[in-house]
Every structure is written in C-alpha cells, then in structure tokens.
Amino acid sequence: MIIGYLAAALLQPWPWYVAGPLIGLTMPALLLLGNKSFGISSSLRHMCAACSPRIPFFNYDWKSEAWNLFFVAGIFLGGIVSAFWLTAPGAVEVNPALVKELAGYGIGTGGLMPEDLFSWQSLFSFRGLLIIAGGGFLVGFGARYAGGCTSGHAIMGLSTLQWPSLVATCCFMAGGLLMTNWLLPLILSL
C-alpha cells in the first residue's frame, strides 16, 4: 500500500512545498560539503573553456569547477528519466484561466505544453524564432551582464545575503513580469 502511494506521488507534479525546500537544502549542502556556489549558467562557460582554451576569457582552471558539469548532466538525465518513466498517465491539468487566455491568442491547449507553441512547425515560424532565438539571446545576455543566472543569484546569492544578488533578482522578477504581462501578449498576437 505504501509503495503504491509513493509510486502514485512520484508520477504527479511535485508541489512547491516539496520541491522548494529540496532546492533550498541544496545550498547549505554545497557550502558545507565543499564551499561550492550553485549556478547553472557558469557551466556553459566551463564547457567552452574545455573546448577552446586559447580564447583569453576561457583561459582559467575550469577543471576545479568540473563538479558543476556533472550537476548539469544530472539535471539533463533527470529530465529524461522523468519524461520516460515518471510521467503521469493522464494529461496534466492546466489552470482554466490560462487555457482561456491562451485561447484568446489562438493557442489551443491539449496539455501542459501547447502544440501551437512547442512543435517543430511553430519553431520555424516568425513567432517561434522570435521567442526562441530572441529569448535565448536575452537570457544569455542577461545572465552574463548580471554575473550569473536566476538560480545563482536568487537561490545561492540571496541565501548568502549578497546585495548584488538581491538587485539582480529584483531585476529578473521585474523583467519576467514585464515579459509575461505586456510583451508576450504582443508576440503571441503576431
């Protein structure tokens, strides 16, 4: 009976009050076990340093931060495991207000990821390229300009009481609100 309950719980999306504390407990574990900082965007720099050490920006001891690459590989493998073996049999329920809002933009929702946004056909449309390429550029530029990504600043930086991380997190949140409420509706209406 307990095993059946645990299996059913693993197949459902985890609520914030389980996933949030687990992410939060990662910070003291990293600090206590190896005085390491958490962040994901720095792993791209480590990969570039491993592949092209002749460029001055990538000329540093990336091997001392190789644990970060294993962490990112674990995130990738965890996504594969959850997609193939830990997926609920039915569709994930989406908030009816979101379904109604997306329908107003002409986007049908057959599940958690609307096919009108997440398909190869929509990727190579003007709107898809604007969202993927433009969004990717802005996220990469913002992470480099801010000296780290949202996970590094909002999770690690705030937990260690760093003022620049508070400023960066406030800017990330303001940018997210601006994008969600004003810019995304404009892009989706194209």
Residue 82, pLDDT score: 82
- Give the pLDDT of residue 46: 85
- The list of the chain residues with pLDDT below 50 reads none
Residue at token pair 């969600």? 180
158 CB burial (10 A radius; 0-12, 13-18, 19+): middle
Entry pTM: 0.67
Distance CA 7, CA 1 (A): 10
What is residue 114's predicted lDDT score, i.e. its pLDDT?
Answer: 66
- Give the DSSP per-residue string, 69-83: HHHHHHHHHHHHHHH
The first and second tokens of residue 22, run together, are 């687990």
Locate the domains of the chain by residue range: 119-190
The per-residue pLDDT for 111 is 57
Query: Given this model, what pLDDT does residue 163 score?
Result: 92
Q: What is the pLDDT of residue 166?
A: 93
State the Cα–Cα distance between residues 59 and 92, nearest whole angstrom.
45
